[in-house]
Structure 1
Amino acid sequence: MRKTLLSAAALAAAFITSMTAAKAEDLVFKIVNNTPGTLERFYSSPVGVDDWEEDIFGDKVVAPGETMEITIADGRSVCKYDMRFEFTEDSKIEDLEDSQDLCELGTYTISLH
């Protein structure tokens, strides 16, 4: 019985530790739209992954001059991400792509210059 109790305690401790570690890996930064167009979609994926993840904005957009806080909570322990920014069709701005170390990033400003 004592062995079972110790195993249950160890399992609970491991679960709590993994929950804390996953939360600590969330990447939070701000996107500033310094373009004349409306930013409609934002995709990211770790560098080296060939497919884009889901659109992070969902049904939100970032108008010219606006800022949005972004949280990437994918549970990964990587910092370097590829990013893809797509604008509304009427903005007439080509999609932009970049790679950044999101662990070091506090604010990312999108501009055409």
Structure 2
Amino acid sequence: MIARTTAAACAALLLLAGSGAQAANRHVDIVNKTGMTMKHFYASSTGTDDWEEDILGRDVIEDGETFDINIDDGSGACRFDFKAVFDNGKALVRKSINVCEISTFTYRP
């Protein structure tokens, strides 16, 4: 009886831990400190080969500016790869960013 109760309690804790990732806030302030204008920004679940659409759309992030982005793609994933493309054509890729644990990500040269 005690073993079943302990197993049920462990299962309940695992379910709660899993739902925490589902409910995590995935809003991230993207800060541009590169000296360049960020023209495009992409975020894709780590392990995916497709960058999806440009999250900025018609917006840009000037040097020194901050832009709030909701990185939630509906999958429940917390780890994303980021790709920023700047006005000179240079792209900076950052891999496996845990958007459930951070609230700010800064691009630097």
Quickly name the TM-score band, shorter chain normalised: 0.7 to 0.9
Q: How many residues align?
A: 88
* Paired residues of 1:43 and 1:54 also in contact (CA < 8 A): yes
Q: Quote the offset at 1:81 in angstroms.
A: 0.4
Q: What is aligned with 2:93?
A: 97
Please, what TM-score do these two structures have when normalized by structure 1? 0.71
Identity %: 39
Q: What is aligned with 1:65?
A: 64
Q: Quote the offset at 1:24 in angstroms.
A: 3.5
Distance 2:101 2:23 in 1: 14
Please, what TM-score do these two structures have when normalized by structure 2? 0.74
* Paired residues of 2:37 and 2:61 also in contact (CA < 8 A): yes
1:110 paired with 2:107, answer yes
| 3-state SS, counterpart of residue 31 of structure 1 | strand
Structure having the higher Rg: 1
Runs of 4+ residues over 2 Å off in structure 1: 23-26
Distance 1:98 1:72 in 2: 14
* Paired residues of 2:71 and 2:99 also in contact (CA < 8 A): no
Q: Which consecutive unaligned segments of at least 5 residues does structure 2 have?
A: 1-21
Distance 1:64 1:34 in 2: 5
Q: Which consecutive unaligned segments of at least 5 residues does structure 1 have?
A: 1-22
Amino acid at match of 2:93: E
Q: Quote the offset at 1:26 in angstroms.
A: 5.6
Q: Quote the offset at 1:72 in angstroms.
A: 2.1
1:48 paired with 2:47, answer yes
